[in-house]
Chain A
Amino acid sequence: MADTILEMRNISKTFPGVKALQDVSISIEEGSVHAICGENGAGKSTLMKVLSGVYPHGTFDGEILLRGEPVEFKSINDSEAAGIVIIHQELALSPYLSIAENIYLGNEKQRGGFIDWNETNLEAGKLLKKVGLRDNPITKIVDIGVGKQQLVEIAKALSKEVKILILDEPTAALNDDDSAHLLDLIRQLKQQGITSIIISHKLNEIKAIADRVTIIRDGRTIETLEMHEEGASENRIIKGMVGRDVASRFPDHVPHLGEELLRVEHWTVHHPLDRTRKVVDDANISVRAGEIVGIAGLMGAGRTELAMSIFGHSYGVGISGQVYKRGVPVSVNTVSKAIANGIAYSTEDRKRYGLNLIDNIQRNISIAALDKLVNWLKLVDAHRETTVANEYRASMNIKTPNVTAVTGKLSGGNQQKVVLSKWMYADPEVLILDEPTRGIDVGAKYEIYTIIDRLADQGKGVIVISSELPELLGICDRIYTLSEGRITADVPREKATAEYLMQFMTQEREKTHV
């Protein structure tokens, strides 16, 4: 048995209103690959931010022991000095600087205040060799793919004499070859004595490289499994990840299904920056009047990309496939055409894509359907606008003193209701709701579910994208599972259980290589 290099004891971290971590304990053996897995929002990333000093000592409870000695990291610099380096999911490289410059960013090789370029490029070259990159160190980051960028991040970590390498969803944005290469590299690093902590929910990967896996759910550690022992099966991990009770947090709803409203066939979308990568691959989905259809998929499965590409080609390039409205082929290549064809999309990121936060509620509600409010002079009838906004304020229970209040000052739940009001006023036939309850407290969630049921009862087709399985199980009549851009299953309500869905959500594409 190897020595324990790192131990985190009874870590608890609270954000206003949310307990993100409760009594999480974990111990990592020196020279091992330790996986941490859990659903989106389970607290994995928060735990790693505690470890790496992003949340400084004192903002959480519990203690961190490095080789048995308690440590207090006040910033990322402290944790890096101790040999702990975290590589975030969103890579932190400066695109227009060279590989070598990025590797030594903030840690420049200098002589007398000037950068020693020869030394920089020479040393960078050595590090690149270690991670299996043959590119010239003076190549700019924009000119290499995401997979290589990931390797540059690791080279950067090696330059800091890393002892413990934390990788947050390292393969989420990579294609199969790059993923395989990365996993190989982690094995090599292990042989050199570097400990890796990998956050992932790709079960095959975890099985392939992890020595142990710790499962986290709802901010608590569920269990730690030795991967080489009996009983450490994928099923057990899945059960650990999702095994919470689906209580009656959802309103009762009896669906009244009508004719098919929307059908999408052979929908394929390529990544805007990497045209060889299919983000959505030959997807077929449909929704009927009065139906609530869920799309379940893990981070990076292509959920939002699927929805946004259908909604006016707002995401992706090289889009192919056909959208049918009540059986008739329609074009959705601009947002206004999609809206005209009765499709609406409410975004998962309402602050960036959903609302004009500096404007008032009433103007946010009306903006997608201003044409309904103009008088014979083509001027917006502000009084009718106010009336409309007040109707939604009442029916959606938007908590605000008045509809001329600035939207940015509302709570997350109320902002979400404003977004939903906007689309309800545009009166589409099909609504695609992307993470409709993200960042919303439990009470408001129930209200949103009620609204979704009401929309279905009005004969609209509703597609709900969510990373919370219980939510989909609670409100949907049918659930598609999405994995690596492909629809892997179409599961009716009766058959849907969290374990069943998770199998298909983690189903990987057949590898073309061994």
Chain B
Amino acid sequence: MKPLTNAVQYLGSQLRQIGLFIALIVIVVFFQITTNGITLAPINVSNLVVQNSYILILAVGMVMVIIAGHIDLSVGSVVAFIGAMAGVMMSEWHIPWPLAVFFCLVIGALVGAWQGFWIAYFGIPAFIVTLAGMLVFRGAAQIALGNQQISFFPIEFRAIGSGFLPAFGTTGYEPLTLIIGVVASLAIVANAARQRMVRRKYNLEDEPIWWFIVKLVFLIGLVLTVAFLLASYNGTPIVLVILGVLVVAYTVVMQRSVFGRHIYAIGGNLNAAALSGIKTKRVTFLLFVNMGVIAAIAGVVFTAGLNLAGPQAGTGFELDAISAVFIGGAAVTGGIGTIPGAIIGGLIIGVLNNGMSILGVDSDYQLLIKGLVLLAAVAFDVYNKRRSVGR
């Protein structure tokens, strides 16, 4: 019985990590049953990805901001503003769509630089600056659109939000998506094995082999299942590719780049970071520039997907992104959080939204339930922390 007790103890110590996954699975299974299998139907999985992509994209930037101990309330308005500018540029100024997308990202960077300046160099708390930004850019979006909606974007542009990678074959399982799924799985296995070998080499304490395998099998299973489901519908959504690139790239940035390390250091102890020679103001400034660009990407994806630039677009997105980050285990005080965590947090919100919509839950109740889930996730976190300190 000894190995079993050890195993249970080990799982206990990993509760936070597992808890997030278990929560996601429980929610998916719950909706799979209550919706009579609609939740995991190929078309719904595809929709789930497309409809939540912008929240997940925003969560990537938001988790970095929150790790540094700040917050950004303006991203929803920035999404609307970017959408408005995209509409104006393409339909009124007739700028070619690739150029327009590029300008959108530049505008996002400028928006971020504006807010970053006040936060980093002027010393106004991010909460205030971005609260102001929330109003400013909502207003700017409405002004740009003249309170009209702009629709009818070029088909190539719309593909960014709602298109799929070119499909081979018209029936059965789309091969490219399956290939991507398999390649991704192989990459995950290779990376995990390499990490494990390195840890062995440096004599680092490592997780037990059974847990290593269980985790890998679970992860690959997840990737292949999603690939399989997508393949049996229209193939790989382009937003999924964008999201995948962002997640991988920013995970590397946060875990391995000097910039990422500086963000964790600033969030963990601002004074110590400054006294270690980190240019804290510069890092904070760049962080918000980065957030602006990511908000612009989300704005482009959202506008393209909807084929519509409206003055009320993106309302409340900031709250979904912030919720995703905190459900994903980030600390309110900064210094703690991961991009994969934020993505899972975003998926939990996404599945909740999607499932409740399918079930026809009243939107008022949807808000109520989402609020309680956020509270429960953070309460679980705090409880967990207190327990581990108590020991």
Contact = CB atoms under 8 A, between A and B. Distances in A.
A379 interface: yes
B282 to A, nearest CB: 10
A382 B258 contact: no
Contacts of A314: 274-275
Nearest to A380: B256
B293 to A, nearest CB: 19
Nearest to A422: B276
Contacts of B269: 352-353, 355-357
B22 interface: no
A356 B69 CA distance: 13
Contacts of A107: none
B213 interface: no
B264 A356 contact: yes
A386 B202 CA distance: 7
A356 B205 contact: no
A511 to B, nearest CB: 37
Nearest to B280: A335
A345 interface: yes
A378 interface: yes
B198 interface: yes
A293 to B, nearest CB: 21
B9 to A, nearest CB: 16
A339 B277 contact: yes
Contact of B275 (A335, A357, A366): A335
A401 interface: yes
Interface string B257-287: 1100110110011011111111100000000
A335 B272 contact: no
Contact of A311 (B203, B204, B257, B275): B275
Interface residues of B, number: 29
B335 interface: yes
A361 B264 CA distance: 14
A288 to B, nearest CB: 25
A377 to B, nearest CB: 9
Interface stretch (A5-13, A134-142, A368-376): A368-376
A356 B258 contact: no
A336 B257 CA distance: 19
B205 A363 contact: no
A354 interface: yes
Contacts of A339: 277
Interface string A403-443: 11000000000000000001000100000000000000000
B336 interface: yes
Contacts of A311: 275
Interface residues of A, number: 39
Contacts of B279: 334, 336
Contacts of B276: 335, 367-368, 422
A380 B202 contact: no
A188 interface: no
Contacts of A338: 277
A356 B272 contact: yes
B179 interface: no
Contact of A356 (B198, B201, B256, B335): B335
A150 B279 CA distance: 37
A367 B261 contact: yes
A370 B261 contact: yes
A379 B253 CA distance: 8
A388 to B, nearest CB: 11
B204 A402 contact: yes
Contacts of B204: 386, 402-404
A358 interface: yes
B136 interface: no
B336 A354 contact: no
A333 interface: no
A379 B257 contact: yes
Interface string B150-185: 000000000000000000000000000000000000
B369 interface: no
Contact of A335 (B252, B257, B274): B274
A358 B388 CA distance: 13
B268 A356 contact: yes
A5 B107 CA distance: 75
Contacts of A221: none
A320 interface: no
B199 to A, nearest CB: 9
A347 interface: yes
B252 A379 contact: yes
A379 B265 contact: no
A503 interface: no
B205 A404 contact: yes
A397 interface: no
Contacts of B268: 356-359
Nearest to A375: B256
A398 to B, nearest CB: 15
Contacts of A355: 269, 272
A492 B264 CA distance: 44
Contacts of B261: 363, 366-367, 370, 380
B175 to A, nearest CB: 33
Nearest to B258: A370
Nearest to B204: A402
Nearest to A353: B271
A390 B273 contact: no
Contacts of A347: 275
A339 B275 CA distance: 10
Nearest to A337: B277
What 3 A-B pairs are tightest by C-beta distance, nearest first? A356-B268, A368-B276, A339-B277
Given A335-B277, A358-B336, 12 more contacts: A312-B277, A334-B279, A353-B269, A354-B275, A357-B268, A363-B265, A366-B261, A367-B278, A370-B261, A380-B256, A383-B202, A403-B204
8 contacts: A311-B275, A355-B269, A356-B269, A356-B272, A358-B335, A359-B268, A380-B257, A401-B205
